[in-house]
Structure 1
């Protein structure tokens, strides 16, 4: 091989190598540039700079399951999330924190803090890391997940899950209505701290799935008293007025459940007809993707006999 071809090949190899190492200008999208930098999230309180790829997230509210579903690392969560059996494996190495114990949060060295608009010590928390809060119920439960997806720079993944979940929940709803009847009613009750509650259509406990996606009917009394606020505290004596043809009982096993042994409870038609579906309240509280997937499978199993 003469000197011309040797020189030509060397120059060609240099050009190919340079092209391979140098991405095209049009390929440098914001997400690629931001991987190790920041993005601007449009929060309720205005724009805020947050990590584009957060590595140490602290959640001081009911959004731990949203973060888990988007596969973002958590270093601290609230006590309610920590006690959730559905979250146990995913949170086994994650610290329990509270808005009251700012020092412990500092020790965790978070790069992002997520809370509610009612979270205490927000001024102190904002000095530790970018802190984003949400007002519970300001947007619907699925839009909430998309917002957290935007915050974590994972909007695409969040939207894909939302669309898929809506389709599956709505299809299951069609099957359930076909089986139990279009006019059959469903109530969701819970016992907590010696008090009975009934729930509307946006307060966790599977209510979003039952009423919003599956279009199952709510008893008129529940609609009247619980729909606006999301929940309603009631006495055992009036429970029969709020009980639907089917009863979802979000049960706290460590609470006083003696009311289930009373004649008032036993004579409720749903109870007499074996149409009470008991769920572990600690697994049923939230409306994040991890919990929603469990709730959907629970309803499919209990209403349709499918697993």
Structure 2
């Protein structure tokens, strides 16, 4: 081999080696980016202080109230409490989720969550927080729409949550205007729920559609309901005195597994709103909450019932 070829071959070999190293380094960097994306975190300012949570949570356990918010934001829920699991509106989104309670420590561990969300009234909060970053909220500490935004902040989807809130307020207001045009500005609406042979009437911030009817639409609450239920949020009454709390319209939530035979009694059918065909019955399981997904269902229900 001619001597002048040797340096050229050495240069060529070095170039190939350099290219190989560059490609290898590039692959390593790509792997690091991928690894970094799965372990990236953000800091959420919780009620108890800053908590580091995953920037892109993949396996969330919800122990109370907020499954519908996460489903609305497209976040995967792997574990949920029985109350939310039984909500027909959530069946598709939660079809692969396991039912867990706050006492099921081992079961929650087996789900390998990267984030846990719930109410601060649950038991074993300290033990649960050892499993994964845990955010617990006080019910009613912020209003129901801000609560959705807070959930958005936790899962790094604040902008999406804010956009939904703005859109929802516009849509609810527009439907409310149409309803008032039809039933009159002074017409009153009562929201009631039957449970275990007891009736409850609700104020303007205890789910069951109350936030939409009273806050967003500006519909009126009967004075008797306002007097007894507005401040505490709800008020228990015996079935037979429902007429004293009944407005021109009644939205009645009844659990499917509860006795609703009282709706066939003479006293019930003698209520003015019932006689006028202004009774709107709903499956209580679909109305219990005020998360974003439930609010969508409630708004659609009110639009169809009041404007049909």
* TM-score (ref. length: structure 2): 0.87
Task: Check whether the contact 1:187–1:244 (CA below 8 A) recurs between aligned residues.
Answer: yes
Task: Check whether the contact 1:236–1:264 (CA below 8 A) recurs between aligned residues.
Answer: no
Match of 2:215 in 1: 212
Q: Point out the more displaced range, 79-88 or 235-244.
A: 235-244
SS at match of 2:123: coil
Query: Of residues 173, 184, 198 in structure 2, which corresponds to 1:170?
Result: 173
Match of 1:80 in 2: 83
SS at match of 1:128: coil
Task: Check whether the contact 2:118–2:135 (CA below 8 A) recurs between aligned residues.
Answer: yes
1:261 and 2:297 equivalent?
no
Cα distance in 2 for residues equivalent to 1:106 and 1:193: 34
What is the correspondence of 1:205-244 to structure 2 with a 5 Å cutoff?
205-244=208-247
Q: Point out the more displaced range, 126-135 or 258-267.
A: 258-267
Runs of 4+ more than 3 Å apart = 33-36
Task: Check whether the contact 2:197–2:239 (CA below 8 A) recurs between aligned residues.
Answer: no
Match of 2:153 in 1: 150
Task: Check whether the contact 1:199–1:230 (CA below 8 A) recurs between aligned residues.
Answer: yes
Cα distance in 2 for residues equivalent to 1:214 and 1:289: 16
Deviations 1:154-210 (A, max 9, x none): 000000000000000001101101110000000011111221111111111111100
Cα distance in 1 for residues equivalent to 2:40 and 2:218: 43
Task: Check whether the contact 1:70–1:149 (CA below 8 A) recurs between aligned residues.
Answer: yes
SS at match of 1:54: coil
Cα distance in 1 for residues equivalent to 2:38 and 2:153: 14
* TM-score (ref. length: structure 1): 0.88
Match of 2:48 in 1: 45
Match of 1:26 in 2: none
Cα distance in 2 for residues equivalent to 1:236 and 1:257: 11
How far apart are residue 253 of structure 1 and its match?
2.5
SS at match of 2:244: helix
Match of 2:295 in 1: 292
How far apart are residue 36 of structure 1 and its match?
3.9
Q: Which runs of 5+ in 1 are unaligned?
A: 1-13, 15-20, 22-32
Cα distance in 1 for residues equivalent to 2:297 and 2:65: 16
Instruction: Report the structure number with the largest CA radius of gyration.
Output: 2
SS at match of 2:75: coil
Cα root mean square deviation, aligned: 1.6
Cα distance in 1 for residues equivalent to 2:37 and 2:49: 20
Query: Of residues 279, 282, 286 in structure 2, which corresponds to 1:283?
Result: 286
Match of 1:246 in 2: 249
SS at match of 1:279: strand
SS at match of 1:105: helix
SS at match of 1:294: helix
Cα distance in 2 for residues equivalent to 1:81 and 1:242: 29
How far apart are residue 34 of structure 1 and its match?
6.7
Query: Of residues 70, 73, 81 in structure 2, which corresponds to 1:70?
Result: 73
Query: Of residues 154, 157, 162 in structure 2, which corresponds to 1:159?
Result: 162
SS at match of 1:41: strand
Q: Which runs of 5+ in 2 are unaligned?
A: 1-18, 20-25, 27-35
Cα distance in 2 for residues equivalent to 1:253 and 1:278: 11
Task: Check whether the contact 2:198–2:239 (CA below 8 A) recurs between aligned residues.
Answer: no
Deviations 1:233-280 (A, max 9, x none): 001232111001000011112211122122221111000001001111
Residue correspondences, number: 277
Task: Check whether the contact 1:56–1:110 (CA below 8 A) recurs between aligned residues.
Answer: yes
